[in-house]
Amino acid sequence: MDKLKELQKGQERREVTIDAKDQSIGRVASKVAVLLQGKATTDYYPHKLGNTIVTVLNIRDVKVTGKKLTDKVYHRWTGYIGNVKSETLQTKMNRDIVKAFKDIVRGMLPKNTLRDKRLKNLIVK
């Protein structure tokens, strides 16, 4: 019920379930990003939180096309001089596929204060 507190008054909650089995990970993530923003509804405002809760099922059966598993590299900086940590998509997905998928969706959402609030409306199973 915590998620419902942030919904605008007068809006009804909308729940959408997406089955990710045998779908490309990027296509599923872009669908989720559009739904979380509320762009699929008629009452879309860029400065308001959407009223859609998205549930993604079968995330372990998602496809990754091409050589992205070995060639796509994510870099992060630890905060210390010269300490840039790099890892491939494969190692990131092997460690925690749910967190990897949420990071992909996070990158597709607008970079503003609503991004973390919108990500709270994403449930990955």
- Which CATH number is 7-66+97-124's, of 3.20.20.140, 3.30.260.10, 3.40.1160.10, 3.90.1180.10? 3.90.1180.10
Q: What is the pLDDT of residue 10?
A: 59
Q: What is the pLDDT of residue 69?
A: 94
Cα separation, 12 vs 121, whole angstroms: 14
pTM of the predicted model as reported, rounded to 2 decimal places: 0.86
For residue 26, give both structure tokens: 């990027």
Cα–Cα distance list, 51 to 14, 20, 39, 60, 74 (Å):
6, 22, 10, 27, 31
Task: Evaluate whether 104 touches 96 at the Cβ level (below 8 Å).
Answer: no
Block means of pLDDT (10 residues each) for the chain, 125 residues, are 52 89 96 94 90 95 94 94 95 95 96 95 94
Cα separation, 18 vs 31, whole angstroms: 9
